[in-house]
Amino acid sequence: MERIKRQESPIIRLTRWQMEVSLSNKKSSKEPPKDENWTIYGVDAEGNERVYAQVPSEQFKKWSKSDRLWSQAQSALFDRLLSNPSTSRVLKNGR
């Protein structure tokens, strides 16, 4: 009898992201980074954090425009920054 794999609950909120960049070994190289990868983490309804998406940089722009949770996370970030008087002043005035 086969074991049935328990389904993970879906991610409901993004928590953080990280970008990994692989640079050239040459000190004076003006070449762009060889590899850039974005890893986005989120939590499910049970509070477990895990990887939500791993996106290579060349696909990130298209992915970020179409992903619903990413859009919500960006809106929440800017709402939070704008609601804080010290960061709001910087964002509005550029200083």
Global pTM exceeds 0.95: no
Q: 3-class SS at 24?
A: coil
Handedness of CA 80, 85, 89, 95 (dihedral sign): negative
* pLDDT for position 68: 95
The predicted-structure confidence for 41-92, as pLDDT tens digits, reads as follows: 999 999 999 999 999 988 999 999 999 999 999 999 888 888 888 877 766 6
* pLDDT for position 1: 42
The predicted-structure confidence for 8-43, as pLDDT tens digits, reads as follows: 789 999 999 999 987 766 666 666 656 789 999 999
Q: Give yes or no for a contact between 37 and 55, defined as CB atoms under 8 angstroms apart.
A: yes
* pLDDT for position 47: 94
Domain boundaries in the chain? 11-93
Q: Give yes or no for a contact between 64 and 70, defined as CB atoms under 8 angstroms apart.
A: yes
